[in-house]
Amino acid sequence: MTITQLKYVLSVAEYKNFTIAAEHSFVTQPTLSMQIQKLEDHLGVLIFNRSKKPIELTDVGLKIVEQAKVIVNESNRIVDIVHQHKGFVGGEFKLGIIPTVMPTLLPMFLNNFTKKYPKVKLIIEEITTEEIIKKLSDNHLDAGLAATPLENEMIKEMPLYYEPFVGLIPKEHRLFHKKEIESSELEMEDILLLEDGHCFKDSVINLCRTYNTDNNRGFKLESGSFDTLIKLSKEGLGMTLLPYLHTLDLSEIDKKLLRDFTSPQPAREISLIYHKSQLKMQLVEALKNSIDGVIRGAISFSDVKIISPLQKKAN
Amino acid sequence: MTITQLKYVLSVAEYKNFTIAAEHSFVTQPTLSMQIQKLEDHLGVLIFNRSKKPIELTDVGLKIVEQAKVIVNESNRIVDIVHQHKGFVGGEFKLGIIPTVMPTLLPMFLNNFTKKYPKVKLIIEEITTEEIIKKLSDNHLDAGLAATPLENEMIKEMPLYYEPFVGLIPKEHRLFHKKEIESSELEMEDILLLEDGHCFKDSVINLCRTYNTDNNRGFKLESGSFDTLIKLSKEGLGMTLLPYLHTLDLSEIDKKLLRDFTSPQPAREISLIYHKSQLKMQLVEALKNSIDGVIRGAISFSDVKIISPLQKKAN
DNA sequence: TAGTTTTTATTGATAGTTTTTATTAAGTTT
DNA sequence: AAACTTAATAAAAACTATCAATAAAAACTA
């Protein structure tokens, strides 16, 4: 039994297809077929049920695959140990970022990070939280940036910052003439929200507890961008909440519609997330340090309203 | 990086000598040397410091060895998974048994076990508790039978039975004329005990708490057998405690010196112990079931009557 | 210090394996 | 039934692990 054989098994288990699995393993299909046969012979069991299309795992196959994942992960860790010892921070690092964080956070740390760690080849992908979770589990991503908490057993979270929401109130709205809004004044019925990241831990105002996605407003919002939200809001379909960093590039006219919240402000928690197996942890730590650095210094977080939630949480 | 290479590394780490490690790995020394060099080249670090005699691990080497142990253990588990699936209970099973348990317990379960699991090649070794612990940690034993608790992080315990101690009181002793002894009457100063297994969990009379090995009796006992203890006791050097099963083959004359304890009796806990990695668990479970079967329900330390099935079998 | 022993590294031959290309077989789809 | 997918098989080529023999280095010895 070799680690290579186990990797081939994992590849077939993932793609349910020998040919595709072979491509992803950078070998030809017969190579992969033979090695898997050899392993099956050695163990005296069939791992795959080849009669089903697409190929299925046998009962033992399922258990073997789970154990193979453990073994392959643990062997990858050897390289981590060596890198850590050499103080080497490098290699490929695949990072997934949710769309609503990408444009604001990426420009802030990318330069800083690539300068500090020139040996790292950052591969960044803009994908949804759900896909990040899936890809972290499959080892197709090394880490992700998303709104937390996720409450997923497989995934560890490293909170980076808390980004307060600012209200965007259309002219006709009942709260338009207020200078500041209190959370208690919010009527969940007339707020437009993205699914993305409005659930929080206890210490922050938790919008998702009161926010009902099955509202009786007559339409359901599936948009992934705040731009759509802003337009809908200005059409008079209700107020909305924008993450603070997204309000910075609004037009002067639109900025007039913004209303801050009184403390405690609603906010979203943005975290660096990674698989519980904690592979490539030096890289994850390096990324966290880079982001921490820019958040503390580079951005104008002199603003009291942003600093306060940050300070609350920063232990 | 291959599992074979990692096994070679573990072997050298254990024996601190390439030649001996090679023998234990059933390959020639150049083979082993080359494979370790290849791994070191691949990782770009030295695992061993060959200039020191005996060979030492480097700093990274130490961490690599720890991780290699994990990987090798986890890969052994694949075979376990297959065996479990096939319902196959077989292969080599190396069991260490402490001297004071060996003669009483082994004859009771050995026949039963080998008949029930003919495919298992039991390799039994009579060794001390300390050596069992060491060999379990090195993977040179699959399980052990010893008096517990051991309070060792690495080792899991599966209690099998509680064996009460019976007092052996020489004629001159102050307690000789008592029919039964109460634990409270014991004077630790005049009891001869083996180091072996007189420590207990809370629920049992705990002799080791009060028993001071640095006694001021003028001699220190290092014997490993109860026979010596009996002789010393009859010489008038003090009373002693014998595990119940050991009292069965005393001569009729010696049996006259025995005194039972009133409830709660002092007793020793005998457990099946194994490494926390839980390899070959089907075999461990099989062994436990066999022993349980012979003992027919756990022996309660507080009730002499429950011991009767043991007595039946032993006679 | 020179000789002896012990231990690890090196070399070259060989057996064994992995991988590849090309082909066949089996099963689907059109 | 032809066209297409997909996995298994065969044979050749590339590669690797292993061994025996030996060299080199280090540690004793006398």
The pLDDT of A181-199, averaged and rounded, is: 67
Q: Which CATH architecture does the domain made up of A86-161+269-313 adopt?
A: 3-Layer(aba) Sandwich (3.40)
CA A107 to chain centre: 17
Mean pLDDT, chain B, rounded, equals: 82
Q: How confident is the model at residue A179 (pLDDT cuts 50, 70, 90)?
A: confident
Residues of A with CB under 8 A from a CB of B: 1-4, 43-45, 59-60, 63-64, 67-68, 70-71, 74-75, 77-79, 81-82, 85-86
pLDDT of residue A5: 95
Q: Which CATH architecture does the domain made up of B89-160+269-314 adopt?
A: 3-Layer(aba) Sandwich (3.40)
Dist. CA B129–CA B196, nearest whole Å: 8
A138/D13 CA-to-C1' distance in Å = 35
Which pair of structure tokens corresponds to residue B239? 């009373």
The DSSP code for A234 is I
Q: Who among B64, B75, B82 is closest to A81 (CB)?
A: B64
Q: How far is the alpha carbon of B10 from chain A, nearest alpha carbon, in Å?
A: 14
Q: Lowest mean pLDDT: which of A80-84, B26-30, B142-146, B261-265?
A: B261-265
Of B55, B25, B60, the C-alpha closest to B39 is: B60
Q: How confident is the model at residue B142 (pLDDT cuts 50, 70, 90)?
A: very high
| Strand C nucleotides in reach of protein CB atoms, 7 A cut-off | 7-12, 17-22, 27-28
Bridge partners, residue A236, by sequence: none
For the four alpha carbons of A214, A215, A218 and A220, in that order, the dihedral sign comes to: negative
B240-259 pLDDT per residue, tens: 888 888 888 788 888 888 88
Taking the CA of residue A230 as centre, how many other CA atoms within 13 Å lie in the half-sphere pointing to its CB?
Answer: 17
CATH number of B3-85: 1.10.10.10
Q: How many CB pairs under 8 A join A and B?
A: 65
Q: In chain B, where are the structural domains located?
A: 3-85, 89-160+269-314, 162-267
Which residues does strand C reach (CB under 7 angstroms)? A 2, 4, 26-31, 34-35, 38, 53; B 17-19, 29-30, 33-34, 36-37, 50, 55
pLDDT of residue A311: 37
Which is more confidently placed, B73 or B164?
B73
User: Which range in A188-197, A241-250, B4-13 is most confidently predicted, on average pLDDT?
Assistant: B4-13
B55/D15 CA-to-C1' distance in Å = 32
A24-75 pLDDT per residue, tens: 999 999 999 999 999 999 999 999 998 887 889 999 999 999 999 999 999 9
The DSSP code for A221 is -
Which pair of structure tokens corresponds to residue A204? 């922050």
B117-140 pLDDT per residue, tens: 999 999 999 888 889 999 999 899
Write phi, then psi, for B151 (nearest 5 degrees): 55, 50
B224-241 pLDDT per residue, tens: 677 777 878 887 777 888
The pLDDT of A94-123, averaged and rounded, is: 89
Q: Do B63 and A81 touch (CB under 8 A)?
A: yes
Instruction: Quickly list H helices, chain B.
Output: 3-15, 18-24, 29-43, 59-86, 102-116, 129-137, 207-210, 226-232, 252-255, 281-295, 308-314
The pLDDT of B170-186, averaged and rounded, is: 78
Indicate the SS3 state at residue A96: strand
Q: Do B78 and A70 touch (CB under 8 A)?
A: no
**Chain B CA closest to residue A41:** B82
B31-80 pLDDT per residue, tens: 999 999 999 999 999 999 988 878 999 999 999 999 999 999 999 999 99
A106/D11 CA-to-C1' distance in Å = 54
CATH number of A162-267: 3.40.190.10
b or e along B78-97 (b: 16 or more beta carbons within 10 Å of the residue's beta carbon)? bbbbbbbbeeebeeebbbbb
Which pair of structure tokens corresponds to residue A62? 């399922």
Q: How confident is the model at residue B96 (pLDDT cuts 50, 70, 90)?
A: very high
Q: What is the CA radius of gyration of chain B?
A: 24
Q: Do A64 and B70 touch (CB under 8 A)?
A: no
| C-alpha distances out from residue B235 to A162, B239, B243, B261, Å | 80, 10, 20, 22
**Omega into B99 within 30° of 0, i.e. cis?**
no
| Strand D nucleotides in reach of protein CB atoms, 7 A cut-off | 6-11, 17-21, 26-28
CATH number of A3-75: 1.10.10.10
Pairs from A15-19 (Cβ < 8 Å, separation ≥ 24): A16/A54, A16/A55, A16/A56, A17/A54, A17/A55, A18/A55
pLDDT of residue A304: 34
| C-alpha distances out from residue A184 to A118, A205, A237, A262, Å | 48, 10, 20, 10
The DSSP code for B307 is G
User: Angle, nearest 10°, between helix axes A29-43 and A3-15?
Assistant: 110
- With tokens 């640095």, the residue in question is B214
- With tokens 């060996």, the residue in question is B102
Dist. CA B72–CA B69, nearest whole Å: 5
A86-161+269-313 has the same fold as A3-75: no
pLDDT of residue A197: 53
